[in-house]
Chain A
């Protein structure tokens, strides 16, 4: 093994992806005495979706609300989850969200122990309304731009071993169990193998199967999401044989519909924070007529557009002073650069209207679409865990989801490490993974990874996206296959950076195919999946999730009802605060 790799490492717990979930999991497992190795594709201080900062933590249960009320809300698809949860019943493992609410304060306590104190100047945790659900479960805090960096510094202190600019290329398995991973340094090509009893995937959602909202295909990476998110972990999990779920669903805007403000005019604020019921954000059309406030169905916006009264806007002049202040605090804490750029253009968040532009799909619905996990973050493969926005089957996501579930994964691995066998490894597997990844470097003429990525995004944008039909999806899949067959074997890479990009494209193509195949299977119309050929909108909950698994070299689709809430084992009583 030492002959093919520049370095072979041994670990109890290999964490792939050093974002929020990965950092928390690594710290938790290291505290339990595990030998932890972290691989991060970028630089850990500024990696992951939280790299630019975190505005808030969503999903903290107010101390005066009993868990029984949460349980009722989750089972009834109301309260803490808003209207959408009703249609998503059967697609979400309700126990995951319940556990998220139940363990939130413990996770905050861990952060405090690690030197990350999110209390306000009075020493309290003032909870605010969640725009999505209307429940008072959102913690706004200062210092959000430091949160991820503080966690990362803690990880770098050791004894955790951290390898930066190291991309995992593939998981290694033996007898149906994951035994480690093979990876590459994306600057110098150093090839690594890590044998590990437990492996965590925490590489975020697949942002790059769609064009950005900006809708500038030539703009390559010019979007305001974390663009390292090529869905590497989801693709690796699939290739290793793990089950994925809900891969047809795309993310919604903050208003409960696929509508969002133009990133050009975002001024460093997310639409979701503006469109909540609590802000009563006025929505106006191009004639200046008020057409609603707060959450608004997408149909209403489209109606205005069709009638020639578009575009529509959020009008911030109607906000209360408290909303303005919160927006300004959020700008100061995160996405500093966006606020600075808005200032370059002379835009003022108090007066400039937010244009609502996007009715397009721009990313998978995280963490609904992703790797299927159980209540302990264990995937369908022994030894393999998943956490953060690449999880599938819950809506407890974002920064706080990553913290809570990263923590769970770290604890699960710590519990399991004692019973998991020493990893056995087949040398040929790692060899194959490396050879396949390096193929583009050996070619002279061909297509560059970015060209191919843009073409794939074109196809997914045009034939899948927010509005789908059987005919379009079939045509899109035909085009995707034809592009894949012709150009994947022609990928070239000039350096190791492009070896990374080429590997990302392979992952993007795989996930695009799974996304469109799942969309073809899903014939219901509801949020996250609009079938224009099956327009009947039903109030009845969707019955089951679409589960995807590798079948030989193909993709096998099946249906499964995600577990409803079973409170047979109640969570332990929350500590009073």
Chain B
């Protein structure tokens, strides 16, 4: 799991859902929050992390790239 969403900090602004080039995020309509739906396609460029205004996302350096 390279990306972690901290739902305590996430305010559902939707920026991560909008910027992810690979469309790894989905949207939970009921809760109004992002969810990871195609995480295996993440290419670790980190746009979602740098653009998150809440600092709710963390990207872990993947083992494969270590």
Contacts and interface: CB of A to CB of B under 8 A. Distances in A.
Interface of A: 42-43, 45-47, 51-52, 145, 164-165, 186-187, 214, 216, 218-228, 263-264, 335-338, 340-341, 344-345, 450, 497, 500
A223 B43 CA distance: 6
Contacts of B64: 214, 216, 218-219, 222
B21 A47 contact: yes
A45 B18 contact: yes
Nearest to B18: A43
Given A42-B22, A222-B62, A227 B43 contact: yes
Given A43-B19, A214-B64, A263-B65, A337 B44 contact: yes
A337 B21 contact: no
Nearest to B17: A43
B6 interface: no
A227 B65 contact: no
Contact of B21 (A222, A223, A224, A226): A226
Contacts of A186: 23
A268 to B, nearest CB: 11
Contacts of B4: none
A261 B61 CA distance: 18
Contacts of B21: 42-43, 46-47, 51, 226-228
B46 A337 contact: yes
Contacts of A221: 22, 40-43
Contacts of B42: 221-222
Contacts of A497: 23, 37-38
Interface string B22-66: 110000000000000110111111110111000000011110111
A264 B60 CA distance: 14
Contacts of A43: 18-21
17 contacts: A42-B23, A45-B19, A145-B50, A165-B23, A219-B64, A222-B42, A222-B65, A224-B44, A224-B45, A263-B65, A264-B66, A335-B45, A336-B46, A338-B46, A345-B61, A497-B23, A500-B23
B64 to A, nearest CB: 5
A337 B49 contact: yes
Contacts of B38: 497
Contacts of B50: 145, 336-337
Contacts of A345: 61, 66
Given A344-B61, A345-B66, A222 B43 contact: yes
A340 B23 CA distance: 22
Contacts of B45: 51-52, 224, 226, 335, 337
A400 B66 CA distance: 32
B43 A337 contact: no
B17 to A, nearest CB: 8
B51 to A, nearest CB: 7
Contacts of A264: 65-66
8 nearest A-B pairs in the assembled complex, by CB-CB distance: A337-B46, A46-B19, A42-B21, A221-B43, A341-B61, A46-B47, A227-B43, A219-B64
A67 B42 CA distance: 44
Contacts of A219: 62, 64-65
A341 B43 contact: no
Given A224-B45, A227-B43, A341-B46, 16 more contacts: A45-B18, A51-B45, A164-B18, A186-B23, A187-B23, A214-B64, A216-B64, A218-B64, A220-B40, A222-B43, A224-B43, A225-B43, A226-B45, A264-B66, A335-B45, A497-B23
A341 B44 CA distance: 10
Contacts of B19: 43, 45-46
A312 to B, nearest CB: 21
A181 B37 CA distance: 29
A338 B50 CA distance: 11
A186 B51 CA distance: 22
A336 B44 CA distance: 11
Contacts of A46: 19-21, 47, 51
A217 to B, nearest CB: 10
A264 B64 CA distance: 9
Contacts of B51: 46
B43 to A, nearest CB: 4
Contact of A228 (B22, B59, B65): B22
A263 B33 CA distance: 33
Contacts of A337: 44-46, 49-50, 59
A228 B66 CA distance: 23
Nearest to A227: B43
Contacts of A187: 23
B66 to A, nearest CB: 7
Contacts of B18: 43, 45, 164
A216 B66 CA distance: 12
B58 to A, nearest CB: 10
Contacts of A225: 43
Contacts of B66: 264, 345
